[in-house]
Chain A
Amino acid sequence: MSRYLALWLPAFRLERCGWSATDAVVLVAPQQNAIRVVDMTPSALEQGIVLGDSIASVRARVPDITVEWLAEQEERRDEVELVRAFGAFSDRVALFAPGLLMFGVSKVSHLYGGEHALVSSVLERASELGHLAHAVICSDQRAAAALVCCRYPYPVVRADRTASALSNLPFAALSPGKRLLDSLRAVGVSTIGQWAALSRAAVAERYGPWGVSLHRVAVGEVCEDNVWIPPQKDPLRVEVCLASEVHNVREFQFAIQSALVELVQRLQALEESAVRIAVAFRLRDASPLVLRLRLGRPTQHLSTLVRLINARLQGLRLVAPAYALVVEVEEVRSGFGWQPSWTDRAESEELLPDLLARLGDDLGEGAVFEAALCPDWLPESAWKPRVASAGVLFSTSKPRLISDPAEHHTWREREMTLPRPVRLLGTPEPIEVRTCEQSPIAIRQRRGWENFTKVLGPERLQGGWWRESQSFLRDYWVVRMKSGAAWIYNEGGAWYHHGWFD
C-alpha cells in the first residue's frame, strides 16, 4: 500500500526571505486592484489578519506590521531548492502546494527505522534549514495534506484510521474549491465527517466525479485517481479541476491558459524551455484523453504555447464529460529557448519548425524529413532521411556523412555511368525479361510481351561483401518502352524493376 508523508512549512514563504515564524510579517502582492495579503507568519495570524485583506486595512489594525513583497520568480527558485534539499529522503518528492511537500515513503521508511523515525528525521532536517514544520504520514496524499495543515497531533495515521482522523476537520481542509465549499455550507455540511456521511450516489449525482474523489478521501478509501505526484521529480505539471463537468474542449481554454501561465513561471525560474508538452483531460467513466505535442523550437514564450496548444485542440472531441485537466511539460531543454521576433508573424502564418513538429506528430516521426546522401553503391542505401527537427533546421554546419574529405571529393566528382530514376520503388519488383546476347530486349506485361525501344547499359553496382549477408552484385539497365523509361537490374539471373524515370 502506498504511504505518503506531508511536510508543511507554514511560514516557508516568509522564512525564505529571512524572517522567522515568530516575527509578525505579512507577504503581499497586487491582487484585484489592491495590494493584498497572500501569506503571513503564525505570529501575524494570531493578530487577526486574514488572507486577502488589503494592506491598508492590515495597517489600520496592526500599525507596526512588517510587510514583505512577493517575488514570484525567486520564490519558485527557492521552492525548487527546497524540493532538492529533501531529495535524500525519497526519490518521489514534489511540491504539493506552497509550503507543502509530499513524499512517497512506501519503500524508504524501513531505512529510517520506521515511519515515526522517518518523521523525526524529516522534521530535524527542516529545523536545520531554519523552517518551522509539521509532518504527517498517511495512505492518501490529500488526506495527509489536510491532516498536516490542521496540525493533527499524531504524526503517523494508519490506513484504517484515516476516516476517523479526518472526521472532525473542516471540509475546507480538503481544498475542494470555493464553489463546492459554498454549496456544502449552504446545506450545513462543514466537517469532513459530515461530508463522509453522505451517500455516494447522492454525491455522484450532485457533485460529479470531483465530489466522488473527495468523498473517497473522506471515507478513507485509497484510489489511484488521487495520485498527484508526477513520475519525475520536476514540478512541471499543473492539474486544474473544474467544479462542474464540461463537454467541449473550447470550455477548457481559460483553464489551459491558467495552467500554462503557471508552467511558464516555473520554466522561467528553472531557466528551462519546453520541448514536449502533454495535455490530458480526465473524463467521467472513460480513460483520460491525452494529447502530446512537440514544439518546433524549445520555448517558454507563453503566447506561442497557448497558440500551439489551441491549434492542436481544434476539432478534438471529448467522448465523455471532462472534470479535470492536466498540463505537463514532459521534456525540457536548458536555456530560455526561442523568442519570436517582430518579423516572424509577417513572414508566415505558421513558423516552419512548428509546422514540421505538427506534421510529425500527426503523420509519424519519419514522415517529414530532409534527405542526405550516403556514400553507398547500393541504390536503396545511397541516401537516408534526416528528421527535420529544430536542431536540423537551425544547425549552421552541414552534416559530415563521409569522414575522409578526399573520399568525399572523389565520390562527388565521379560521374555515374547511367542516370538515376526520379522514382525508386520501395521494394524491387520481380519481372520477366527476354534477353539477346545478355542484353534485355523485351518485358512481359499483363497484355503480353513488350519490346524495349531503347536500352542503355549495363552498369554494374557491387559491394557490401565485407558485411555478412549484405553483399550485392547487380547489373543495371535503363530501358525505354511505351509505358515510360524504367530502371531494371539483373542479380543472380533474376530480373527486377527498381525505378521509373518520369
Chain B
Amino acid sequence: MSVGEVALSIEALRAKIRAIEGAPVGVHLVPSGIESVDTLLGGIAAPGLIEFSGLQGSGKSRLALSIVAHFTVQLGQRVAWVDAGHQLYPPAVSVLGVDLTKLIVVRPHKNRASWAAEQVVRSGCFSLVVLSGVGISPRSGVRFARAAERGRCSALMLSQVSQRGYPAHQRVHVSERELCLVRDRVGHGKTRTTLAPTPPIGVDPWL
C-alpha cells in the first residue's frame, strides 16, 4: 500500500468515526421522498413508530412503497417488509420504483407475526421496517415503540383502523387522495393535505 493509499484509508476511517459519533440522538425527522407527506409531517420519525391507517383500497400500501422506494433508491438503504398476509406482489413493487435487491420480505405465520416483526424492528439492521397485516395490541404497541428506538429504525405500521392504545410518534389517516395527520408526539393534529396526482416516484397514474 502506498503512502497516498494509506492516507486515504485513514481519512475514510476518520469519516466513519465521525459518522458514528455524529449520529443524531433522540427522534428526528427523515425526508420520506413524498412531497405531500413531508409537507404534512415534516418527514417520518426516526427512530419511531408511525401508523398509516386507512380502509382497503385507500392507497396506504402504495404510499408506503413509495417511501420504501425513496429509501432503497435515493438513500441506498436496506428496508424490511413484514408481510403477515403473504400477499405482497413484487412485480408491482418493482414498478413503484423499489430496488428489490435492498428489500427483504419476511412472511411469518399468523401466530408468529408479532414476534417476527419485533425481531426485525429491534435488530438494528434496517433503517425502515414496514409492518403489514401485523396485529398490534396496546401492550405490544409499547414493545414495538421501544424496539424501534432500540433498533434505531422507523417502523411503519399499516392498518385499516387507527389503534389509539399505544404510543406512535405519528399517526396518518389515508383516504382516497387525502392524507390526514391525526396526531403526532409534538401534539399537532387534524392537519390535512392532498396527495399530489403524480408523486415524484412512479405510482400508477390511474389510481
Contacts and interface: CB of A to CB of B under 8 A. Distances in A.
Nearest to B57: A484
A370 B125 CA distance: 15
Given A369-B105, A419-B207, A422-B62, A484 B55 contact: yes
Interface stretch (B1-9, B28-36, B82-90, B165-173): B82-90
B145 to A, nearest CB: 16
How big is chain A's contact interface, by range? Answer: 35 or more
A254 to B, nearest CB: 28
Nearest to B60: A502
A351 B123 CA distance: 8
A419 B95 contact: yes
A203 interface: no
Contact of B106 (A349, A368, A424): A368
Contacts of B120: 355, 359
Contact of B57 (A348, A379, A419, A483): A483
B118 to A, nearest CB: 11
A456 B93 CA distance: 20
B59 interface: yes
Contact of B206 (A343, A362, A426, A478): A478
A500 B91 contact: no
B87 A383 contact: no
A452 to B, nearest CB: 13
B59 to A, nearest CB: 7
A502 B125 CA distance: 27
Contacts of A369: 104-105, 107
Given A347-B20, A478-B206, A420 B112 contact: no
A358 B108 CA distance: 13
Interface string A338-369: 00000100111111100110110011001111
A423 B87 contact: yes
B9 to A, nearest CB: 13
Nearest to A454: B206
B204 interface: yes
Interface string B95-133: 110001101111111001000100110111100000000
B141 interface: no
A419 B59 CA distance: 14
Nearest to B92: A420
B125 A383 contact: no
A499 interface: yes
Given A359-B120, A373-B100, A502 B61 contact: yes
A448 to B, nearest CB: 19
B88 A422 contact: yes
A51 interface: no
B58 interface: yes
A478 B92 CA distance: 14
A370 B87 contact: no
A358 B119 contact: yes
Given A363-B112, A426-B86, A419 B206 contact: yes
A286 interface: no
A368 B104 contact: yes
A349 B150 contact: yes
Contact of A343 (B16, B92, B124): B16
B70 interface: no
Given A349-B151, A362-B112, A368-B106, A456 B206 contact: yes
Nearest to A425: B87
Interface string B183-207: 0000000000000000000001011
B92 A422 contact: yes
Contact of B100 (A352, A362, A370, A456): A370
A367 B107 contact: yes
B89 A388 contact: no
A423 to B, nearest CB: 4
A117 interface: no
A398 B20 CA distance: 29
A484 B103 contact: no
Contacts of B103: 370-371
A502 B56 contact: yes
Contacts of A355: 119-120, 123, 125
A371 B124 contact: no
Contacts of A246: none
B65 interface: yes
A352 B125 contact: yes
A370 B104 contact: yes
- Considering the complex of A and B, which 8 residue pairs feature the smallest CB-CB distances, nearest first? A484-B57, A419-B204, A371-B90, A348-B124, A420-B92, A424-B89, A423-B87, A502-B61
25 contacts: A343-B16, A343-B20, A346-B20, A349-B122, A350-B123, A352-B78, A358-B119, A363-B116, A367-B109, A368-B106, A369-B104, A370-B103, A371-B105, A373-B91, A379-B91, A383-B90, A398-B101, A419-B207, A420-B89, A423-B88, A424-B87, A424-B92, A484-B56, A502-B59, A502-B62
Given A347-B124, A370-B103, 7 more contacts: A349-B150, A359-B120, A367-B109, A368-B105, A421-B92, A422-B89, A484-B58
